[in-house]
Amino acid sequence: MGEMPGLRERKKLRTRRALTAAALRLFMEKGYEQTTVSEIAMAADVSTRTFFSYFASKEEVLFHTSREHIDRALRTVAERRAGESVIGLLTRAIDATFDALADNPEIRRNVMVVNHLVMTVPSLQAHALLLLFDTQRELVEALRRACPDELDLTQAAAVVGGVVGAAKLAGFIRANRGDTPEEVLAAGREAAEMTLAALRAVPPPPSRPARDDTEPGRPPGHGRRESGGDDPPGR
């Protein structure tokens, strides 16, 4: 169990939560584009300067919880256990993310608001797509570092894209039809677990000649095959 945060850390956490809650409430009441940073700060009973000491923009307020989940998954992947398979590692990372959501009703509600705004505000859709791309890229790189003898970059990208894409899409589909936060969370988790189960059944890929990911003149990850690369992910 981690240490309890000190007084200063607890105060900062309360301020961050107050800013997030105020922003989401105003976004839903007034509209995302119509809400100003000054209004968010006033609603949270802090100064505009204080707002910018926590968040760089309105977009960051909206998506900062996603960053926390990404960091949690990255830490899990980086701490791969001895003898742990690729699929076992990914399963543990997915479980850590969904368990954190399941344990915090406030975060679940916030995620639903964010999903609604992303689906209805065009300017946020581009930001959300970029965030999704960056998330998957970071996870691919982390997985490649954690499992250098089992995966090349192409395989890592396929595994991460399948799992994250399935979970995200299932969650958005269920949220878009008006399901509860619990139902959306369950759908995302089920989709991720179905993808992981399918990956366990993937047969070994055909052998390919070894090629360094950073070979001059070729994009990173093109044709990579290292020792152990003929084994399917997680085998």
| CATH classification at residue 23 | 1.10.10.60
Tell me, what's the pLDDT at 147? 93
DSSP three-state, residue 235: coil
Shared domain for 121 and 171, answered yes or no, is yes
Choice among 3-12, 104-113, 148-157, 224-233 with the minimum mean pLDDT: 224-233
DSSP notation for 52-104: HHH-SSHHHHHHHHHHHHHHHHHHHHHTPPTT--HHHHHHHHHHHHHHHHHT-
* Mean confidence (pLDDT) of the chain: 83
65 and 147 part of one domain: yes
Q: Could you tell me if 73 and 83 lie in one domain?
A: yes
What does the pLDDT average to over 50-75?
89
Higher-pLDDT residue of 202 and 185 is: 185
Predicted pLDDT of residue 93? 93
Do 207 and 185 belong together in one domain? yes
CA 171 – CA 127 distance, rounded (Å): 18
Query: Taking the mean position of all CA atoms in its chain, how far away is CA 89?
Result: 16
Q: Mean per-residue pLDDT for 105-111?
A: 81
Mean pLDDT over 44-55 rounds to 95
Maximal CA-CA distance, the chain: 62
Mean pLDDT computed over 187-201: 92
For 110-134, what is the mean pLDDT? 87
Q: What is the CATH number of the domain that holds 205?
A: 1.10.357.10
Cβ-based neighbours of 119, under 8 Å, separated by 6 or more: 125, 172, 175, 176
Domain residues for the domain of 157 are 57-235
Does the pLDDT of residue 5 top 80, yes or no? no
Predicted local confidence at residue 65, as pLDDT: 78
If DSSP codes are grouped into helix, strand and coil, which group holds residue 186? helix
Mean pLDDT in residue range 47-64: 92
Last residue in a domain, options 16, 31, 55: 55
Whether 189 shows a pLDDT value over 80: the answer reads yes
Q: What is the pTM of this model?
A: 0.74
Q: What is the pLDDT of residues 63-103, one digit of tens each?
A: 887 888 889 999 999 999 999 999 999 999 999 989 988 88
Mark whether 48 and 69 lie in a shared domain: no
Residues 48, 70, single domain; the answer is no
Where among 36, 55, 74 does a domain terminate? 55
Give me the pLDDT at residue 39, please: 97
Max avg pLDDT among 40-49, 124-133, 169-178: 40-49
The total number of residues shown for the chain amounts to 235
In this model, does residue 161 exceed pLDDT 50?
yes
The answer on 194 and 217 residing in a single domain is: yes
**Same-domain status, 66 and 132:** yes
Considering the domain architecture, whether residues 118 and 231 belong to the same structural domain is answered as yes
pLDDT recorded at residue 207: 47
Do 138 and 96 belong together in one domain? yes
Q: How many structural domains comprise the chain?
A: 2
Whether 140 and 195 map to the same domain: the answer is yes
Tell me, yes or no, whether 34 and 79 share the same domain. no
